[in-house]
């Protein structure tokens, strides 16, 4: 398994700063989410058409990889025109992934909206997956549906992925989200999703109930981290395990200068490599 960190943990850093720190700390890659305070990645100079070649050269020169690109779009809207707007936006992130040699983008479902229902929302998500997978296929960029929002249960994710029924539909498995959202054990989620798992979000949290949580350093929360690792090993998973340190969402949490080395130390000590 390979390691990366989500730039959600250092939202104000530039791409170059993220790459420099990843190399220094011994990560294998970086997952792009927020950069320089923005999740509109396509508007950042280093990720526009003119800036991407130099960014790709820096990624390669440091011996790193972009493990994933986080799409901010949601596909749960009742209004078809809004869903189309989200699809058009997501295509910009797919273009970034393609230019950086990244094999997948993370997308959200995400939550059943007023005026919608669960089955219709799952269908809309599946349709967006199909459209975006078709768009990304020529560049070998897959769509990775994350365990998130109202769709953290692995059987729901599996239903969406199978309904999509196309090459390039995969999963970003977030076992902590599944525990908080539906109390699903990692061993169950890993078994159900199986070969669909193409990217993993890794984190520890205090589970406060009612869908609330608070992030902690590894080993200080309620998430069964060893069960996650064991489940991935059973699958012979060889992809990226990405630390999703949600510093942007939990401003009182320690900064990346604490959380990132903590992850590397835990990962080495617990034999996950």
Helix, strand or coil, per DSSP, at residue 249: coil
**Coil vs helix vs strand at 65:** strand
Confirm if 83 and 124 have CB atoms less than 8 A apart: yes
CA dihedral 231, 178, 224, 227 (to 10 degrees): -10
263 DSSP assignment: H
Q: List pLDDT tens digits, range 166-224.
A: 788 999 999 999 999 999 999 999 999 999 999 999 999 999 888 888 999 999 999 99
% pLDDT > 70, the chain: 99
Burial of 252 (0-12, 13-18, 19+ CB in 10 A): exposed
Per-position DSSP letters for 1-40, written without gaps between them: -EEEEEGGGSTTS-HHHHHHHHHHHT-SEEEES-BTTBS-
**What is the model's pLDDT at position 272?**
62
What domain count does the chain have? 1
Domain with 187 in it: 2-269
All residues at 6 or more sequence positions from 18 whose CB lies less than 8 Å from its CB, including other chains: 5, 7, 10, 30, 35
What string of DSSP letters covers 77-135?
A: -SSHHHHHHHHHHHHHHHHHHHHTT--EEEE----PPTT--HHHHHHHHHHHHHHHHHH
Instruction: Report the C-alpha gap between 129 and 108 in whole angstroms.
Output: 10
Judge whether residue 53 has pLDDT over 90: yes
Residue 142 has pLDDT above 80, yes or no: yes
CATH number for position 145: 3.20.20.150
Q: Is this structure's pTM higher than 0.85? A: yes
pLDDT at 13 over 80: yes
Query: Mean pLDDT throughout 227-243?
Result: 96
- pLDDT value of residue 210: 82
DSSP-assigned states of every residue in 149-162: TTB-SHHHHHHHHH
CA distances from 199 to 62, 66, 138 (A): 21, 12, 20
Residue 221: strand, helix, or coil: coil
Q: So what's the pLDDT on residue 273?
A: 57
- Digit-coded pLDDT (tens) for 62-120: 999 999 999 999 999 999 999 999 999 999 999 999 999 999 999 998 999 999 999 99
């Amino acid at each position: 398994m390979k390691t990366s960190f989500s730039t959600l943990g250092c939202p104000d850093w530039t791409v170059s700063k993220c790459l420099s720190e990843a190399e220094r700390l011994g990560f294998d890659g970086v997952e792009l989410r927020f950069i320089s305070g923005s999740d509109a990645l396509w508007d950042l100079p280093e990720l526009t058409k003119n800036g991407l070649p130099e960014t790709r050269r820096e990624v390669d020169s440091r011996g790193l990889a972009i493990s994933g690109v986080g799409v901010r779009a949601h596909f749960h809207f009742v209004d078809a025109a809004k869903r189309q707007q989200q699809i058009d936006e997501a295509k910009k992130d797919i273009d970034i992934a393609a230019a950086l040699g990244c094999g997948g983008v993370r997308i959200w479902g995400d939550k059943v909206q007023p005026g919608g229902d669960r089955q219709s929302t799952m269908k809309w998500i599946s349709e967006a997956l199909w459209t975006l997978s078709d768009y990304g296929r020529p560049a070998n960029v897959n769509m990775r549906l994350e365990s998130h929002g109202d769709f953290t249960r692995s059987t729901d994710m599996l239903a969406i992925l199978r309904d999509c029924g196309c090459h390039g539909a995969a999963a970003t498995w977030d076992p902590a989200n599944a525990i908080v959202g539906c109390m699903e054990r990692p061993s169950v989620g890993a078994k159900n999703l199986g070969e669909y798992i193409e990217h993993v979000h890794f984190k520890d949290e205090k589970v406060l109930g009612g869908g609330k949580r608070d992030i902690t350093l590894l080993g200080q929360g309620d998430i069964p981290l060893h069960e996650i690792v064991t489940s991935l090993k059973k699958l012979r998973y060889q992809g990226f395990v990405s630390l999703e340190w949600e510093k942007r969402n939990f401003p009182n949490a320690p900064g990346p200068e604490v959380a990132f080395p903590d992850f590397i130390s835990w990962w080495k000590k617990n034999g996950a490599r």
